[in-house]
Amino acid sequence: MTGERRDERCPHEELAVGWAMHALEPDQEVLLREHLDGCERCGLTVRSTEQVTAALGGAVRQEDPPARLRERLMAAIEDTPQEEPVTGPRLVHSAPDGPVATRAGGRRRRTGVLLAAAAVVLVAAAGGVVGVQVDRLNQRVEAQASRTDQLEHALRVAADPTTDRAVLRTPSGETTAVLLSGTDEAAVMPMELNANDAQHQVYVVWGTSTTDPVPLATFDVRPGSTDATLLTWSPDAHAHSGFAISLEPGRSAPAAPSSVVASGQVQAA
């Protein structure tokens, strides 16, 4: 057969998507195998669909289901009646005067559904929609993984017996944050700290056990967040028994705090 130009739509394009998704009937496979030899457009469609399905398959990291969910799933599987194998063609009759469908007809209907889905993938891939959605999904998964890692790490810091704990309060006595100060790592847990403008402001942790306050670390508070935030820490920072938090303009710690929002001392063991 003669090949189609790449800028023209081929009537077999949906079959090409189905080919890449292994969703064709044997006679359709034979038809498309012969067609692909002379159609550059469908060859490109097959390659693009394979790339899209590979991207979708790797977009979400695999997680083991909870044990309880696994048990419920296995119980449901065991309770599901199993069909007896059919050795020969079986006719399925509808109403007395209605059509008669064979297993081959059922396969064709399923193939039609798969090809309809393939057409959606084709349109989405052509418009770049799938790529955008995959990127967004990747970003959400990475953000959630990062948050989980932060919380688990902060929990380890809190459980360490050498970690100092300081409750930081406003001048009027309201608790705003808890600082966990370890020998080489630390975390701050905002309780009532307002979200800062992450482009033009930053929170600064100060050590107040010296004559002049010493800037120890910076962090941001996202709107509505009370998640623990890990801090860059050092043994020198752990030596302080008094701490304060200030909200500063810019994105770096100044030489001295300009607006202290909370302060406190390490609690006695």
44 domain-assigned = yes
86 domain-assigned = no
CATH of the domain at 195: 2.60.40
Number of domains in the chain: 2
Among 78, 109, 127, give the residue marking a domain's end: 127
The pLDDT, as a whole number, for residue 71 is: 62
> What is the mean pLDDT, run by run of 10 residues, along the chain of 269 residues?
53 81 83 88 80 58 56 54 49 44 49 54 51 59 67 75 91 92 89 93 96 95 84 89 96 94 87
139 domain-assigned = no
81 domain-assigned = no
The pLDDT, as a whole number, for residue 115 is: 55
**Pairing state between β 214-219 and 201-207:** antiparallel
The pLDDT, as a whole number, for residue 15 is: 84
The pLDDT, as a whole number, for residue 19 is: 82
8 domain-assigned = yes
Please tell me whether residues 123 and 212 are part of one structural domain: no
Q: Single out the residue of 138, 139, 143, 169 nearest to residue 225, CA to CA.
A: 143
Q: Kindly give, in sequence order, each residue whose CB lies less than 8 Å from that of residue 206, ignoring residues fewer than 6 positions away.
A: 213, 214, 215, 216, 243, 244, 245, 246, 257, 260
The answer to whether the CB of 205 falls within 8 A of the CB of 216 is yes
Q: Single out the residue of 189, 254, 264, 259 nearest to residue 221, CA to CA.
A: 189
User: For every residue of 57-109, which 3-state class applies, written as one string?
Assistant: HCCCCCCCCCHHHHHHHHHHHHHCCCCCCCCCCCEEECCCCCCEEEHHHHHHH
Please tell me whether residues 117 and 225 are part of one structural domain: no
Please tell me whether residues 118 and 169 are part of one structural domain: no
150 domain-assigned = no
Please tell me whether residues 104 and 212 are part of one structural domain: no
Please tell me whether residues 199 and 116 are part of one structural domain: no
Please tell me whether residues 1 and 123 are part of one structural domain: yes
210 domain-assigned = yes
Please tell me whether residues 175 and 237 are part of one structural domain: yes
CA 248 to chain centre: 32
90 domain-assigned = no
Please tell me whether residues 113 and 219 are part of one structural domain: no
Residue 31's domain spans which residues?
1-58+98-127
User: For every residue of 227-247, which 3-state class applies, written as one string?
Assistant: CCEEECCCHHHHCCCEEEEEE
Please tell me whether residues 17 and 123 are part of one structural domain: yes
- What is the reported pTM? 0.50
CA distances from 187 to 140, 146, 155, 253, 263 (A): 23, 15, 9, 17, 15
Please tell me whether residues 116 and 170 are part of one structural domain: no
Please tell me whether residues 116 and 171 are part of one structural domain: no
Among 109, 127, 145, give the residue marking a domain's end: 127
